A and B are shown apart, each in its own frame.
Chain A
Amino acid sequence: MSPEILGLLIVAVTVTLLLMGMPVAFVLGGVALAFLVIFAGSGSLLMVAESLFGYLDNFALLAIPMFILMGATVAASRAGSDLYEAADRWVGRVPGGLVVSSLGACAVFSALSGSSPATCAAIGKMGIPEMRRRGYSDSLATGAIAAGGTLGILIPPSITLILYGIATETSIGRLFLAGIVPGLMLVGLFMAWSLIAARWQGGPAAAALPRFGWHDRFAVLPKVVPFLAVVVGVLYVLYGGVATPSEAAAVGALLCLVLAALVYRMWRPKDLWEVLRTSTREAVMILLIIATAELFGFMLSRLYVTQSLAQGIVGMNADPWVLMACINLFLLVLGFFIPPAAVILMTAPILLPIIIGAGFDPIWFAVVMTINMEIGLITPPVGLNLYVINTIAPEVRLQTILAGALPFMLCMVLGIVLLCLFPGLATWLPTYVMGP
């Protein structure tokens, strides 16, 4: 069987099993095992257990459970609400300012947590009821938080950028830096749209709100500042070249646990177990997909599917930008159905040779891919953030949330277009800080 037909067969089987509701990790592992046995002989299984162990025996991977633990700790505390309140008191006075401050709080929280649903939940719990109470429309209130939450995977630390770094052997430090400017650009675009939407809506949302005095503004800081200090510390340690991402993440996680215990009195075993339980569950899920995705990738290259696909695409001599558009469309469709972590692990190793072959920068592509994945987080049927919002505000209908999220989605598409026009948005900062 030619590698091309084999490739199609693998895609068909994988998609069928995924649609049937089989967990992603087991689909990847199972398809890899089955195709290895059938097309490369049962002897190829002998190394599987040792390879699985080998893929996971990588110090860089430790950053994932550690950053997840750090994010889960902050998410379980009241830090999200406090952050929201701080943002409100400092910038909430501008007309439409509550949406702007919610988006700002999302951006800051993204820097505390590498996960989008966590960001969405932490800021939304406080932000959505408050915005609705003050007269913002349901669609703007929920759409803004859904979109603001997606920043979690773009603004460092970001779980998906770590995964991309591991899957493609790209520097995680550079990837994190590359996410900062585009992240801020998206925040800006989101805020601009919210101000326009609030003004259009008129009524109480557009009216100026009571002014908070300096006393109120500073009173809220003591609870927020320690966590922000941890973030700044973690980022400083990463870029000062002092420690590796895993080391920075471990120290960050421990510090956040200690701070949560001190500031929010989360020191009872029950609180600690809840944080550990949720973060372990999430980390295990992602790491198991990493291991089986590696096995899947090994199977693809063992059967020459990856190579012939890359050759075939390079041989087509297509215009690089047409190719880039096709890849983005493909990722967008995948993102509708499969969570970002799984999409990145499954496709990044296959796409990377194609991207480099077409002359694109892998760091820049990581940012484009991440924004693309962010869109998938707020589109049905598997938009995680939509479900998070649905849990926070069950009385708002999914259609309303979607209608509110749609303009923000367009902002993200605009963001991708801007990145294509000005690749420097993503590549300037990493080059400036870490050299070419």
Chain B
Amino acid sequence: MDPFLRLTARLSTLSGIAAAGMIMAAVVAVCHMVATRYLFGHPTIWQTEFASYMVIAAIFLGSPYGLLTHGHVYVDLLPRLAGRRLRLAMALLSAALCLAVCGILAWLSIALWLDAWHGGWRSETLWAVPLWQPYLAMVVGTVLMCLQLLADIAGLASGARRPFGLTDAEVAP
């Protein structure tokens, strides 16, 4: 396989592992909060916010892995019915449009991140987290999505990646 395809696949997988870890961290943080508040009656400060940020980060970091493994839900009615060449064309066009969306989102996230960094923005809570930290996950996630989509397009063009991940057996009537 193409080194670029292999590299992006590895990056997306790593990103997915990080996302899974973050969801687990959110679970543990919320359980910790429940124990602190209901069992010991102590006030809680950071857990709610931490868990929310972990899940947000997991969404953006998990998305490249979703793209890699066709985990983002789509309507596969026409791709299944279409002939081989039309299916490839649909997959390419779909990936190109997704790339455009992710490109814009990446650009907007970077702009937001820079603002937060330079402006020293903090969340309006007791914990007062510097906002560039949670925003960073958006930047990394959207950029990785762009990379994964570029790899998808390259893979589709070279035949290394099947359109919509459908095997011939799956599309045969």
Binding site for B on A (CB under 8 A): 17-26, 29-30, 33, 45, 48-50, 52-53, 56-59, 61-62, 65-66, 69, 242-243, 246-247, 250-251, 253-254, 273, 276-277, 279-285, 287-289, 291, 337-339, 341-342, 381-382
Q: Which of A23, A65, A253 contacts B72 (CB 8 A)?
A: A23
- A26 / chain B contacts, CB cutoff of 8 Å: 72, 97-98, 101-102
Asked whether A66 and B30 contact (CB < 8 A) given A17-B97, A21-B79, A277-B16, the answer is yes
User: Would you call B74 an interface residue if the criterion is a C-beta within 8 Å of the partner chain's C-beta atoms?
Assistant: yes
Grouping DSSP codes into helix (H, G, I), strand (E, B) and loop, the B interface class, with mixed when no group exceeds half, is helix
The answer on a CB contact under 8 Å between B28 and A285 is no
Give the CA-CA distance A360 to B125 in the complex, in Å. Answer: 38
Give the CA-CA distance A22 to B164 in the complex, in Å. Answer: 9
The answer on a CB contact under 8 Å between A62 and B59 is no
The answer on a CB contact under 8 Å between B59 and A56 is yes
- B153 / chain A contacts, CB cutoff of 8 Å: none
The answer on a CB contact under 8 Å between A281 and B34 is no
Q: How far is the CB of A285 from chain B (nearest CB, A)?
A: 5
- A285 / chain B contacts, CB cutoff of 8 Å: 66, 71-73
Nearest neighbor of A18 in chain B, beta-carbon distance? B75
Q: How far is the CB of A411 from chain B (nearest CB, A)?
A: 26
Q: How far is the CB of B104 from chain A (nearest CB, A)?
A: 6
8 Å CB contacts to A: which residues of B76-107?
Answer: 76-80, 90-91, 93-94, 97-98, 100-102, 104-105
Q: How far is the CB of A394 from chain B (nearest CB, A)?
A: 11
Give the CA-CA distance A288 to B100 in the complex, in Å. Answer: 17
Q: Which of A20, A29, A251 contacts B94 (CB 8 A)?
A: A20
Nearest neighbor of A283 in chain B, beta-carbon distance? B23
Nearest neighbor of B71 in chain A, beta-carbon distance? A281
The answer on a CB contact under 8 Å between A30 and B100 is yes
The answer on a CB contact under 8 Å between A57 and B75 is no
The answer on a CB contact under 8 Å between A65 and B58 is yes
The answer on a CB contact under 8 Å between B73 and A19 is no
The answer on a CB contact under 8 Å between A49 and B48 is no
Q: How far is the CB of A305 from chain B (nearest CB, A)?
A: 20
Q: Please name the 9 residue pairs, one residue from A and one from B, whose CB atoms are nearest each other, closest first.
A: A250-B30, A284-B62, A23-B72, A49-B108, A276-B20, A49-B112, A30-B101, A22-B94, A281-B71
Give the CA-CA distance A253 to B29 in the complex, in Å. Answer: 12
Q: Which of B28, B56, B108 contacts A56 (CB 8 A)?
A: B56
How many residues on B have C-beta within 8 angstroms of the other chain's C-beta atoms?
A: 57
Give the CA-CA distance A283 to B75 in the complex, in Å. Answer: 18
Give the CA-CA distance A381 to B78 in the complex, in Å. Answer: 10
- B65 / chain A contacts, CB cutoff of 8 Å: 280-281, 284
Please indicate which of the listed interface residues A49, A242, A289 has the most CB atoms of chain B within 10 Å of its own CB.
Answer: A49
The answer on a CB contact under 8 Å between A280 and B78 is no
User: Would you call B160 an interface residue if the criterion is a C-beta within 8 Å of the partner chain's C-beta atoms?
Assistant: no
User: Would you call B138 an interface residue if the criterion is a C-beta within 8 Å of the partner chain's C-beta atoms?
Assistant: yes
User: Would you call B133 an interface residue if the criterion is a C-beta within 8 Å of the partner chain's C-beta atoms?
Assistant: no
The answer on a CB contact under 8 Å between A254 and B28 is yes
Q: How far is the CB of A31 from chain B (nearest CB, A)?
A: 9
Nearest neighbor of B28 in chain A, beta-carbon distance? A254
Asked whether A62 and B51 contact (CB < 8 A) given A24-B74, A247-B30, A280-B20, the answer is yes
The answer on a CB contact under 8 Å between B77 and A381 is yes
Q: How far is the CB of B55 from chain A (nearest CB, A)?
A: 6
User: Would you call B19 an interface residue if the criterion is a C-beta within 8 Å of the partner chain's C-beta atoms?
Assistant: yes
Give the CA-CA distance A52 to B78 in the complex, in Å. Answer: 30
The answer on a CB contact under 8 Å between B26 and A243 is no
The answer on a CB contact under 8 Å between B77 and A382 is yes
The answer on a CB contact under 8 Å between A247 and B23 is no
Give the CA-CA distance A381 to B73 in the complex, in Å. Answer: 14
The answer on a CB contact under 8 Å between B135 and A22 is no
The answer on a CB contact under 8 Å between A65 and B55 is yes
The answer on a CB contact under 8 Å between A62 and B104 is no
Nearest neighbor of B51 in chain A, beta-carbon distance? A62
Contact with A along B102-145 (1 / 0, CB 8 A): 10110011011000000000000000000000110010000000
User: Would you call B148 an interface residue if the criterion is a C-beta within 8 Å of the partner chain's C-beta atoms?
Assistant: no
The answer on a CB contact under 8 Å between A250 and B108 is no
Q: How far is the CB of B135 from chain A (nearest CB, A)?
A: 7
The answer on a CB contact under 8 Å between A59 and B20 is no
- B59 / chain A contacts, CB cutoff of 8 Å: 56, 283-284, 287-288, 291
Q: Which of A20, A48, A66, A284 contacts B27 (CB 8 A)?
A: A66
Q: Which of B48, B72, B134 contacts A288 (CB 8 A)?
A: B72
- A280 / chain B contacts, CB cutoff of 8 Å: 16, 19-20, 23, 58, 62, 65
The answer on a CB contact under 8 Å between A277 and B20 is yes
The answer on a CB contact under 8 Å between A57 and B30 is no
Give the CA-CA distance A309 to B58 in the complex, in Å. Answer: 36
- A24 / chain B contacts, CB cutoff of 8 Å: 72-75
- The 30 listed contacts between A and B (C-beta, < 8 Å) are A18-B74, A19-B77, A21-B78, A22-B97, A23-B94, A25-B73, A26-B72, A49-B105, A58-B52, A59-B52, A62-B30, A65-B23, A242-B38, A243-B34, A247-B34, A251-B34, A253-B27, A277-B16, A277-B20, A280-B19, A281-B16, A281-B69, A283-B23, A284-B66, A284-B71, A285-B71, A285-B72, A287-B55, A287-B59, A288-B66
Asked whether A288 and B63 contact (CB < 8 A) given A243-B38, A281-B71, the answer is yes
Given contacts A21-B79, A288-B66, 6 further A-B contacts (CB under 8 A): A29-B105, A254-B27, A273-B20, A280-B16, A284-B58, A285-B66
Give the CA-CA distance A115 to B109 in the complex, in Å. Answer: 32
The answer on a CB contact under 8 Å between A250 and B27 is yes
The answer on a CB contact under 8 Å between B101 and A337 is no
Q: How far is the CB of B38 from chain A (nearest CB, A)?
A: 7
